[in-house]
Structure 1
Amino acid sequence: MRLGSFITVIGIPEGLLGNFRIDLMGELTSGEPDPPIILHYNVRLQGDKLTEGPVIVENTLTAAHGWGDEERCPPMQSENNKKVDELKQCNKRVGRLAAGPSNMSIWSSVAKNVSKSERYFPFKQGYLSVMTVRVGEEGFHTTVDGKHVTSFAYRESLEPWLVNEVKISADVRVTSVLASGLPTSENVEHVDMEALKPVSLPPHKKLDIFVGVFSTANNFKRRMAVRRTWMQYAAVRSGAVAVRFFVGLHKNQMVNEELWNEVQAYGDIQLMPFVDYYSLISWKTTEVVSAKYVMKTDDDSFVRVDEVLTSLNRLNKSNGLLYGLINSDSRPHRNTNSKWYISPEEWPEEKYPPWAHGPGYVVSHDIATAVYKRHSEGSLKMFKLEDVAMGIWIEELKKGGLEVSYMKENRVFNEGCKDGYVVAHYQSPRDLLCLWQKLQETNEAKCCADG
């Protein structure tokens, strides 16, 4: 799933209790006994050991950490009702006295005249409900019969694009399941491994761009999709552009063994004890030192390498350049519930200096060299938001006399895909293959499905 994806389940809670579960499952990782549950949505119409009234319980599950902290709707304490994408974790009307039939399911209210003394709950045993799970920027949002009910913030390493299966179980008769905004299928047969290996870089030749792709150890499918798609651009195959993956080691030894086999097979991975944005800066290689530009992207991004090169050549700015989706009026998130929360101690000022969104930005050679030098000297200010950090470092270089040009590229889409893209973010492996196929067939940057 990706930003804007929907899954709609139409069904009737029935049976003895009417309890049911909807689980968004991730992919099983080698060495783990069970796949992770990205979202566990548990409807308990008869309540549970903590409450007598009906309740919705949301959670996550991983083999390494077990169940996470439950989130309940209605919550045990109203003051704990936090917000996700500006929506409350639980609609405040859930569990309260209904104001009339309009507060019940649109289906059950037709079938039964609801008393005003009845407490509102979005599901009712024996009556049809339409539930939709939507992918937002910060979390999953569920609606029932068109009304927002719950919001659940993503948890670390359990993002929506890892979902590859929906499980519906217990006392519910499912009428239909609908989905929109999901990628098309992927054909993984007949892969020519030799064609996916990077070309040997000519000695003493300056690269046009060095591209660092940040990835994680168990994201093999994403790396394969990148190899089969935008790493096949002529500029990459000719050696004018070098693409390398930066991958941190995994806590699971079997995953690391598979990763090591991948390193030996393809030769395009730089292993790190852990991966973060300092990895790209501190990697002392000929490729980085001799590149005119250094680009940072992610393994779920599609990069139109040819268009990036064309744009940089058109700009004709080889020094003091930050190119990408520039944000010049950004303020730190002070809400402690935000995944991007920054305390006043971390950044005391009201605004950030200009920065470029992380899915795809480019800096010129002189900026990359200067930042690396400060890093090696221990004078680089560390900051946990990678893309903002680069903007902060560049601002420091400006104070030292460096003239900087900020070149905004509105075709870098950091929340999905739009036709005409230069970079499209949050793309699954199947999305990447689909985008590449469209480029080959039409020579136009057209998105797949709903983008």
Structure 2
Amino acid sequence: MKNAMMQPFFTKNHSSLYLLLLPFLFLFLIFFAIYPNDLKLQSLFLTCDNHDVSLMGPVSVKPDFRLLISVFTTAWTFERRHLLRLVYSKSLWPTNNVTDYVNVRFVMCNITNEEHITMVALEIMNYGDIIVLNCTENINSGKTYNYFSSLPDIFGHDAPYDYVMKTDDDTYLRLDALVESLREKPRNDVYYGLEMPCNGTEFNFWIPAPFMTGLGYVVSWDLVEWIATSEVPVNLTTGPEDMMVGWWLNMGEKGKNRYNNAPVIYDFLGPDQEANCFRHNLTTDTIAVHRLKENSRWTTVLNYFNVTHGIKPSKLHNFS
């Protein structure tokens, strides 16, 4: 009897509650449909495996231009990688052109020092921009061959990039100038950089010249595939790495579309040095400048190109 008496009361109260909440539920659904981002609900459905140091945001259309910049570095040069991330993340194109896609990756060999392993692991977790090759750290004992020959396995064989650039962590790249210089070039059999010997000068090279200097050279993806599969470079991996790459391409009759970018790719002119065809004062049309091993040189270069000119006045910082 008691249960029978409570039944109508329970149903009536719930029915009234449903009727009371129905308009609010209807308004919520309308708001969610019109302003989903304001409720931050999209975070429930979107995930990110790592943080891409791409200079552009996510690309919704197939890029017309795809460049992988490979900065050769070592595990212990944390400060330099941090500087380069800051510099290159600011180098967005004024047009914010989504058809340009540039990735910057830092390349090093196996890490054995426990401190370095921990620090690099933190970088990988936060930035996802480091490639660790299966090799002993070196400059001219096969690191470059190991890198190029590994790329098809790392990124796949379906030409994920039009071009791959090898550069050093003491080189400053003006990314907008670099992209514009490459944009109208062919996408096959391209070998691009600062050619040596330059301006007809004679050097005592022990390999067949010419070659592009290691401060920063570009090859098209088909040449990456060729390096990975050809027998030519397999036994020619020890020696000045930039010369060896030139030797491979010369022997294989590859890189027929060659572009010498002197004088806009060059070495920094130090106070006790003489200018020549590959080393001179800074110029406004620069694509790449090399030999920036000290922070004082980086300061000179970044100030010359007004890299920090956009900083806004704030009570949070006071530059005296």
Fold similarity call, TM over 0.5: yes
> Is contact 2:53–2:104 with CA below 8 Å preserved after alignment?
no
Conserved in 1, the CA contact under 8 Å of 2:227 and 2:233? no
* CA distance 1:233–1:441, shift in 2 (3 Å): closer
SS of structure 2 residue aligned to 1:261: helix
Instruction: Tell me: CA distance 1:249–1:200, structure 2 relative to 1, closer, same or farther (3 Å).
Output: farther
Offset, 1:201:
5.6
Match in the other structure for 1:124: none
Q: Give deviations 1:197-231, integer Å, cap 9, x for gaps.
A: 44666488455211100000110110011001134
Q: Do the aligned residues in 1 keep the contact of 2:208 with 2:247 (CA within 8 Å)?
A: yes
1:331 to 204, 211, 215: 204
Inter-CA distance 374–317: structure 2 relative to 1 (3 Å threshold): same
Q: Quote the offset at 1:291 in angstroms.
A: 1.1
One of 413, 418, 432 as aligned partner of 2:266: 413
Q: 2:129 aligns with which of 255, 262, 268?
A: 268
Distance in 1 (CA, whole Å) between partners of 2:304 and 2:268 is 20
Following superposition, the deviation at residue 309 of structure 1 comes to: 1.4
Shift of 1:249: 3.4
- State the 1:237 CA deviation: 9.8
Q: How does 1:18-417 map to 2 (within 5 A)?
A: 197-198=53-54, 202=59, 205=62, 207-234=65-92, 240-274=101-135, 275=137, 276-281=143-148, 282-283=150-151, 284-286=153-155, 289-314=159-184, 316-328=185-197, 330-332=203-205, 351-374=207-230, 379=234, 381-398=236-253, 402=254, 404-410=256-262, 411-416=264-269
Partner AA of 1:419 in structure 2: L
> Quick one: which amino acid aligns to residue 331 of structure 1?
N
2:217 aligned partner, one-letter code: Y
Deviation track 1:112-159 (CA, whole Å, cap 9, x = no partner) reads xxxxxxxxxxxxxxxxxxxxxxxxxxxxxxxxxxxxxxxxxxxxxxxx
1:259 CA displacement: 1.2
User: Gaps spanning 5+ residues in structure 2: where?
Assistant: 1-49, 138-142, 270-279, 310-320
Structure 1 window deviating more from structure 2 (279-288 vs 406-415): it is: 279-288
Instruction: Flag the structure with higher helix content.
Output: 2
TM-score w.r.t. structure 2 length? 0.61
Could you tell me which residue of structure 1 aligns to residue 274 of structure 2?
none
Report the RMSD for the aligned CA atoms in angstroms. Answer: 3.3
- Contact 2:67/2:163 (CA < 8 Å) preserved in 1? yes
For the residue of structure 2 that corresponds to 1:240, the secondary structure is strand
Q: Secondary structure at the match of 2:131?
A: strand
1:353 is displaced (CA, Å) by: 2.6
What SS is found at the alignment partner of 1:226? helix
Contact in 2 for aligned 1:222/1:429 (Cα 8 Å): no
Q: Is the 8 A contact 2:189 2:256 kept in 1?
A: yes
SS at match of 2:85: helix
Tell me, in whole angstroms, the C-alpha distance in 2 between the residues paired with 1:426 and 1:251: 28
**Contact persistence 1:323–1:362 (CA under 8 A):** yes
CA distance in 2, matches of 1:226, 1:210: 15
2:31 is matched with which residue? none
Query: How far 1:440 sits from its partner (Å)?
Result: 3.8
Give, as a single letter, the amino acid of the residue that structure 1 aligns with 2:227.
Answer: V
**CA displacement at 1:389 relative to structure 2:** 0.9
8 Å CA contact 1:250, 1:256 repeated in 2: yes
- 1:320 maps to a residue whose letter is D
Q: Secondary structure at the match of 2:107?
A: strand
Distance 1:374 1:434 in 2: 43
User: Is the alpha carbon distance of 1:279 and 1:263 closer, same or farther for their aligned partners in structure 2, counting shifts above 3 Å?
Assistant: farther
The one-letter code of the counterpart of 1:354 is P
Distance 1:325 1:441, change over 3 A: closer
Compared CA separation, residues 441 and 374, structure 1 to 2 (3 A) = closer
Q: Deviations over 1:251-286 (max 9, x none)?
A: 421122111111111111112243421242023333
